[in-house]
Structure 1
Amino acid sequence: MRYHLDIRIEVPTPTSSGGTRVWEAAWNARTDLTAPDGTVLAPKSRLWASHTGGHQQIGCIYTAQGLEFHHAGVIVGPDLTWNHDRWTGHPERSRDKELRGLPPEQYLRYALNIYRVLLTRGTHTTRIHSADRKTQRYLDTLIRPGSGSPR
């Protein structure tokens, strides 16, 4: 079976052409992820990170906590945004059905902790991308993209 890519992120390129770069990956594969030529890219597994090819897919807080990686990436979803000098939780935008029904202020505490845990998984580098453009602009003021060091 050809792989299913759940996550698609379009990133503006820093060129004068004003184009975008597209990045895609699968989230917690339920079947083996195979390339069009039949090569297994990542095996179906709840413990995706412990298998060869596991880096070809995205985990979540439940499959990544307690693990460390040389290089990690964190996608801040639309459930957590930076607005008017504060973080705002949007439980209705969460992919975690257990947390979707929480009041926004209670959800915010969970979301901040979840992202804190995910942001500490990389031992050498961690890349951060926000699905929300305003939040990404805020994050860019804290961390110079690609530099690995704060401004």
Structure 2
Amino acid sequence: MSHPVIRPARADEYDEVARVWMESWVSTGLAEASNFLLANLRARVRREIEDGWTLFVADDNGSIAAMLALHLPKLYLDMLFVAPAYQGQSLGRQLLTFTRTQMPDEMYLRCVRENEKAWRWYEREGFVFEKEEIEPSNGFVMKHYRWKRPRLVG
């Protein structure tokens, strides 16, 4: 299998991006797929782009394998979701490596506390836990993380 290409998302792909987001989120066991959830995510993709998201996709010969949403002015990795069929193939690591080219010195992210697989992965990737807070919009407890480029000694 070829490696998907990370590139900016096109407006005509936003609905497909929302589908990948939903399928990946559902794969965590924290939600069930539904037309209602998909409609909400489709609307949210457009709203978040208006509010400052820079949206990327991992394109596998025309199929969207993952979505990555960054808020560059805030140094914020907002969303990184890999479609279930592509999980476990280091695509998340590729996306994180790409993210570090966009925000090379420092970045922040939040992760749902119950999504232990995700936050443990971020910790292995060098993110440092800072605090937990309840997200009022959905009631989830969010773990806040920060990553800083390691200082070179010498």
Taking structure 2 as the reference length, the TM-score comes to 0.32
**Structure with greater proportional helix content:** 2
Name which one, 1 or 2, has greater alpha-carbon Rg. Answer: 1
